[in-house]
Amino acid sequence: MSTSSNTISSPKLIVTIDDTTMLNKIKNAIKMLRGVGSISVVTPQKTDLDLAHEDVKAGRVTKWNSVDELFDTVLK
């Protein structure tokens, strides 16, 4: 009989924090609770769309006047 690779050895509690300035205080408060084995902080990964928006804001974009101009540039 095989075991599932998604088996959790201990129950997990996931806390979402909107105010990141409170992160250390919340971590310290959770550490004080009896039975807490460890605390891990996972920051969300930026999506490709988030990265694209950052490129636009930073001016890392190229504009062409036509598709022909685009292909002329790309195929050089």
Buried b (16+ CB within 10 A) or exposed e, 55-75: eeeeeeeeeeeeeeeeeeeee
Position 8 pLDDT exceeds 80:
no
Percent of the residues in the chain that have a pLDDT greater than 70, as a whole number: 89
Tokens matching residue 29: 């408060």
Which residue range(s) make up the domain with 36? 20-74
Residue 3 has pLDDT above 60, yes or no: no
2-20 mean pLDDT: 75
Q: Does the pLDDT at position 20 exceed 70?
A: yes
On whether residue 44 sits in a domain, the answer given is yes
Residues 38-51, mean pLDDT to the nearest whole number: 90
Q: What stretches of 1-76 show up as alpha helix (H) in DSSP?
A: 23-31, 48-58, 67-74
Hey, what are 27's tokens?
């971590």
The answer to whether residues 74 and 66 touch, using CB atoms and an 8 Å cutoff, is no
Q: 2 lies in a domain?
A: no
Total of domains in the chain: 1
Is 14 a member of any domain? no
Confidence of residue 6 (pLDDT cuts 50, 70, 90): low
